Amino acid sequence: MKLFDNNEAPQCAAALLDWFAHAMRPLPWRTTYHPYEVWISEIMLQQTQMERGVRYFQNWMERFPDIAAVAAASEEDVLHAWEGLGYYRRARFIQKAANIIMEQYGGKLPDTPEALGSLPGLGDYTVAAILSIAFNQDVLCIDANVERVFARLLNLEESPRTTAMTGIIREQGMLMLPRGRARLYNQALMELGALICGKNPKCSFCPIKSFCESRRLGLEHERPVPEQKPERIAVLAVHAILMNKENVFLVKRAAEGLWGGLWEFPGTEYTAETSSEKAVQDMLREKFGVRASGMKCVGTVRHNYTKHKLRATFYELTCPDDCWQRLSEQESGMIVNRSELSTLAMPAHHRKMAGRYAEKNIPPEAKQLSLI
């Protein structure tokens, strides 16, 4: 492992900033570095590729041009604008934080670590990013790109996610940070990690390759040392697409927890010992008091999230009027015309299936449900 000294650190930072001056991408929040825009961009780019994040950011700003607009919006509107980005707690936290900012800070994002850290959904990294990028305070931001850059620069022999290596990265990153230029410095590190020092490093284009220890040793492809990750947990789920003529029955997930507050086709998780068909029949009987027969399987959607690997099977059932009346009385349910499905915030695997029904021709009604 190599550590910079007080002479080499500023030289490396200067070469990095010279490169960034002409290599930086024209991202929309870099136009003015408005604190609100920096905040939203940082939250959106968590677990999201840049191109996709930019598209969502631009759509978001059209719908919610300032903090006041987010605070005044309905939760449904906020979640719908977020749909497809996943991790929907982030959107809820944005709205909760927006309300606090309106009430306590006059509608302006605060500029102290204590105040920012007290807002919902703002962890250490996001607080540091806002302070440095929006307010140009001398704070270091460490994301996955920065970890990868320093893992190669210093030739770290352990995963950069370990406590010891994180401490070294923070110490060396602060040593390199040119005071008064944190906004550009942090973005330059992240840009270098995204464009040059990626999983497959493009060392010949790197502006700081002469400072890189792993490059000198020919170990650039072996760094960073990977973090051991647990295997994904398999989850089986089944859902019923309940229809009556042009209408569809949906239920709303509880506000807390995974995909909280989103609309979905009613369903349940089940184990491999039970068939998907029996699981959906049991779910309909226990939750809604209806008996299913003659179901049609319309597809399976696979979706990976957090530490899980989901396999969701969907069955289509047409409801006679007596069953439809019972469903309409469900407090957590809602009946919508199939043309309205695209306007509702739904988990990704439900959105994929709903897309088939927004435009498809519904077959003639067949009584596949009966009251118990």
Peptide linkage before 110 cis (omega within 30 of 0):
no
Spatial CB neighbours of 108, under 8 Å, sequence gap ≥ 6: 35, 67, 101
- Cβ proximity of 90 and 82 under 8 Å: yes
11 vs 208: CA distance, rounded Å: 9
User: Annotated catalytic, 329?
Assistant: no
317 vs 296: CA distance, rounded Å: 7
Q: How far is CA 336 from the centre of its chain?
A: 27
199 vs 148: CA distance, rounded Å: 8
Closest CA to 47 of 362, 348, 354: 348
From the candidates 42, 83, 191, 220, give the one annotated as an active-site residue: 42
Per-residue tokens: 190 = 């992240």
Q: Strands, E, within the chain: which ranges?
A: 233-244, 247-252, 263-264, 267-270, 290-292, 296-305, 308-318, 333-337, 369-371
Catalytic residue numbers, as ranges: 42
